[in-house]
Amino acid sequence: MTLLSIGEFARLSRLSAKALRRYDELGLLRPARVDPDTGYRWYAAGQLEQARLVAALRQIGVPLARIEPMLGLPAGAVAEQVAAYWAGAEAEHAARRDLAGYLVDRLNGKETIMYEVATRDVPERRLLCLKRNVDEAGARVLGKEFVGIMQSRPLPRIEGEAGGAFTIYYGEVTQDSDGPVEWCRPVPADQADALAAQYPEFTLRTEPAHAEAYVHLGDPNATAPRWEIIGETMQAWAVGQGLQERDRAADLAPRVTFRRHPPGSSPVAADCDYAVPYHRP
């Protein structure tokens, strides 16, 4: 096996020696041999292809944590993940562009309508809920857990828009902040107590009737800039309606509602709203 010094390998792979040492520490690109006395790293010529792949992925902005699981996959699977990453990056860029345009217009005193805000009345409902304090990564885990339960033990549905599952965000959920998040599924009131006994992992509660202002999202996986625009849109709508902060239903936090296809019930992509409950003046 032909071995290359770390300097030669760095030159051929277009990665610095510093980057190679870091990738070794992270387990992304281990040297073929490390001198036990000096700690000097040697690489096999056959590792160049993987090193160049890592370099290329970093050039397009793929995070190191996302690269590591890609490296053991077949080329076709890596290609799919790269395509998915880039589609997400383009969506993020488009959302940032829209947010920048919105802010420029607002600062120049120009009103821009990015989303149409509608209202609806939601009846009192009995809900089975799964609630935890989670950060951004934990929120995804919680959602998968909820969906898994729905798939393994389907609940009876309430027909119509009021029967869709929804996720309530009681606080900020980011990489650094673990706000309370609650997944909820409305169930028939006359079966609620019996169903709660069958789902001990869920909490049964009653949500009061209320009004909601909402924006149709379509895709629930909105980027952070898009959420910002939606929040600004909601705030502008509230001001236009003469609503004050006190008119917000304090016990009913913002939520993402699944309009037609509750999680786990259909292979069709979810159709979602972002909704903010409020008290009518």
Residues 13, 23: Cα–Cα separation, whole Å: 13
Residues 30, 44: Cα–Cα separation, whole Å: 10
pLDDT at 140: 86
Residues 86, 33: Cα–Cα separation, whole Å: 35
DSSP letters along 132-185, please?
Answer: EEE-HHHHHHHHHHHHHHHHHSPPPPPPSGGGS-EEEE-S--SSS--EEEEEEE
Give the residue-averaged pLDDT of 53-71. 89
Residues 55, 191: Cα–Cα separation, whole Å: 57
What confidence tens digit (pLDDT) does each residue in 179-227 have? 899 999 999 999 999 999 999 999 999 999 989 999 887 765 666 677 7
**Could you state, in order of their start, the residue ranges of all structural domains in the chain?**
3-72, 74-112, 117-278
pLDDT at 251: 60
Q: Would you state the CATH architecture of domain 117-278?
A: Alpha-Beta Barrel (3.20)
Give the residue-averaged pLDDT of 106-123. 83
User: Model's pTM, two decimal places?
Assistant: 0.63
Tell which CATH classification among 1.10.1660.10, 3.40.50.300, 1.10.260.40, 1.20.120.450 matches the domain 3-72.
1.10.1660.10
Between residues 232 and 41, the one the model is more confident about: 41
